[in-house]
Amino acid sequence: MKRWILPVVAIALVAVIVLPFVVGAGSGIVEVKGSTFTVEHLLGDDGSPSRRSPVARRGTLPKDQAILCSWDRDRYMYFFSDEAMGVFDVAFLDAAGKVLDVRRLRSHRGDFREDPGVSPKVEARRALFLPEGAADNLTLVAGDTVKLSSDLLSAKPEPMTVIKVSGQEVRVELSTTGWLRNRGLMHRPKLSKDEGMLFIYPKMEPDLSFYMRNTLMALDIAYFDDRGKLVSVHPTRPSEDPARSGAGIQAKSGGPSQYVLEVPYGWFRERGLIDENDKPLKDVTLEMPDNIRNNASKAESHR
């Protein structure tokens, strides 16, 4: 082996571990039951890494480093491993640092749609990713407190994108790539009130169809055209065996559409937007921030 190969490999491995901590959105210190961790603080959903995908393709965290993802409101957050090479302990926290739940996020190989991910039992404001085994070694459990440095506490997380459906607000995660659209809300047990996912295509598609593969929640699946006019709504319940038979439960657009909104089951009917036969009771329109609508054409192509 040539002499230069080993140093190059070593530098590459160090970059995988250290570089995210150099270019992250912010930093700070947390103290977990007497142990101190240097934290990369993720406050937004754009870029890589982001709070939506904080460990994508990451290796094992060094024993004194951690990742903190923060939002401006309590919510049922969810994280996939996103081809991470390491395993992570995840402490879900309230705004002040009280531990609400502790989970482990394992790496996943194979079909990305089968990545089970991890979520808390309750709504949380923050998620702290620790090196594998840290939670057990520190006997970290719900009810404990993680001490957050002042810069972490004072940092302002970006608010989620807010859209409106005939004046009714929904906070959404955006899915603009084939990867994100294919995975959607798979494996998630819950959504917070008035939250959902907005799927964006670069142009009108004649025959979109969504299925319930690996989908644990009952959902309203709503299709909108390029002007934001409602095409159809499909209140859809999951299969008893979402992994094996969920793909057989489909909701078809019934007309050309460009945007698809998934929200908790019954959302449209509870707001008087559709009747008992799931037909619109009036003109229902999707209102989006200008930057979302203007950049829709940049979304990844459907095929």
Residue 215, pLDDT > 80, answer: yes
How many residues comprise the chain? 303
196 pLDDT band, cuts 50/70/90, is very high
Residue 10, pLDDT > 80, answer: no
How are beta strands 195-205 and 168-175 bridged, if at all? parallel
Dihedral sign computed on CA atoms, order 204, 210, 215, 217: positive
Predicted confidence at residue 5, as pLDDT, reads: 46
234: left (phi over 0), alpha (psi -120 to 50) or beta: beta
With 0.75 as the threshold, say if the pTM is over it: yes
Q: What is the pLDDT of residues 137-184, one digit of tens each?
A: 999 999 999 999 999 999 999 999 999 999 999 999 999 999 999 999
Predicted confidence at residue 2, as pLDDT, reads: 45
Residue 238, pLDDT > 50, answer: yes
Average pLDDT over residues 186-210: 97
Residue 250, pLDDT > 80, answer: yes
Q: In whole numbers, what is the pLDDT of the chain averaged over residues?
A: 92
Residue 262, pLDDT > 80, answer: yes
Q: Which residues of 120-140 are buried (b: 16+ CB within 10 A; e: fewer)?
A: beebbbbbbbbbbebbeebeb
Residue 9, pLDDT > 50, answer: no
Q: What is the pLDDT of residues 75-134, one digit of tens each?
A: 999 999 999 999 999 999 999 999 999 999 999 989 999 999 999 999 999 999 999 999
Residue 186, pLDDT > 90, answer: yes
Predicted confidence at residue 25, as pLDDT, reads: 57
Q: Which residues of 91-111 are buried (b: 16+ CB within 10 A; e: fewer)?
A: bbbbeebbbbbbbebebbeee
| Residue in this structure with the two tokens 């989970």, named with its chain if needed | 103
- Angstrom CA distances, 301 to 44, 183, 200, 205, 260, stand at 24, 16, 10, 10, 15
Residue 224, pLDDT > 50, answer: yes
Q: What is the pLDDT of residues 18-51, one digit of tens each?
A: 444 443 458 999 999 999 999 999 999 988 899 9
Structural domains of the chain sorted by starting position, each given as residue range(s) with its CATH number in brackets: 5-154 (2.60.120.1140), 161-298 (2.60.120.1140)
What tokens appear for 16 in the block?
A: 């995988």
Residue 285, pLDDT > 60, answer: yes
Asked if residues 98 and 170 have their Cβ atoms less than 8 Å apart, the reply is: no
More confident of the two residues 204 and 282:
204
Predicted confidence at residue 48, as pLDDT, reads: 86
- Angstrom CA distances, 36 to 41, 129, 148, stand at 15, 13, 10
What tokens appear for 249 in the block?
A: 């439960």
